[in-house]
Amino acid sequence: MTKPLNDTPKWVQGCFVLVGLGGLFFGVPLVVQGVREGSVGVAVLGGLCLLFTVPLPIFFLLSMWARSRIGKPQIALSRDTLGVGESFVLEYTHRFPRSVHIRRVVVELILRERVSFRAHHHTRGGVSHHTRTLTHDHIVQEIEKPGGHFQAGETLYHRFALRIPPNAMHSFAVHHNHLLWRVRVRLDIPHQPDLFLTFPLQVLPKLVFGGNA
């Protein structure tokens, strides 16, 4: 089984929890104080604090709950090191621990472009410098297959045939510029956050004719 990347690092997950706890710690007392004292401004301030902080950990916890409810799929890539123009296969096998409805399974072949550069801003005290990083995902190929309603113990299986385009750029990484190939699996679940799994690919600077090595 291929090991996925963690799209949400643990330190970010921890920040979500801290932000939510901080919002509760400051927001609830402000709302209570505003209601008791009849101060609309204080109550609104507390409500805004709750509005902009608490939904983050709630969404994160809902995502974790959805993932635990449907179980963990088995993902197999025929290869994760490829040449330009080369084909590969992703096999999706999912045995469900309980009854669940799946709308669809979507697989995307992605070229992620990440660029870092120095930005300059003129201020009263002079010129300030800071580094900015921009990331953009190019969806090179997308394949969608149907889901269905599954009882506990039933299995969903799909096979996806993908290909690095023959005119595409290979993987590339220097200090300020990165071209990263990824394949992302999205499980569309009604009334729940979608499940995302992302896997890295290494595309070598060689052209493969006919799609196969």
Per-residue pLDDT of the chain (213 residues; tens, 9 = 90+): 555 655 555 656 667 667 777 777 777 887 888 888 888 888 888 888 877 777 777 766 776 776 777 888 899 999 999 999 999 999 999 999 989 899 999 999 999 998 887 766 666 666 666 677 888 999 999 999 999 999 999 999 999 999 999 999 999 888 788 999 999 999 998 887 788 889 999 999 999 876 664
Examine residue 1 and state whether it is found in any structural domain, yes or no. Answer: no
Please tell me the pTM assigned to this model. 0.70
In a domain, 2, yes or no: no
CA neighbor of 77 nearest in space, from 103, 109, 102, 105 = 109
163 and 91 in a common domain = yes
Q: 177, 114 in Cβ contact below 8 A?
A: yes
Same domain assignment for residues 94 and 194: yes
Q: Is residue 5 part of a domain?
A: no
Say if residue 61 is in the same domain as residue 89: no
- One domain for residues 95 and 189: yes
Task: Find the CATH number of the domain harbouring 181.
Answer: 2.60.40.640
44 with 97, same domain: the answer is no
Residue after which a domain boundary falls, among 67, 94, 116? 67
| In a shared domain, residues 114 and 35 | no
Q: Of 67, 86, 113, which residue sits at a domain end?
A: 67
Task: Tell me whether residue 144 is in a domain.
Answer: yes
Contact 27, 53 (CB under 8 A): yes
**Residues 134, 53 share a domain:** no
Q: H/E element holding 83? A: strand 81-84
Residue-number span of the structural domain to which 31 is assigned: 10-67
Q: Does 134 map to a domain?
A: yes
- Final residue in a domain of this structure, among 67, 86, 112: 67
Whether residue 170 sits in one domain with residue 115: yes
Residues 6 or more apart in contact with residue 70 via CB below 8 angstroms: 94, 96, 97, 98, 100, 102, 187, 189, 195
Residue 4 lies in a domain: no
Q: Provide the 10 A C-beta neighbour count for residue 138.
A: 11
- Same domain for 154 and 177, yes or no, is yes
One domain for residues 63 and 77: no
Give residues with Cβ within 8 angstroms of 1, minimum separation 6.
Answer: 74, 75, 76
| 3 within a domain of the structure (yes/no) | no
- Structure confidence at residue 113 (pLDDT): 92
Instruction: Looking at the structure, tell me whether residues 58 and 101 fall in a common domain.
Output: no
Which pLDDT belongs to residue 206? 92
Q: 141, exposed or middle or buried, with CB in 10 Å at 0-12, 13-18, 19+?
A: middle
Are 82 and 177 found together in one domain?
yes
Count of the separate structural domains present in the chain:
2
Say which DSSP state 154 is in.
Answer: -
The answer to the question of residue 114 being in a domain is yes
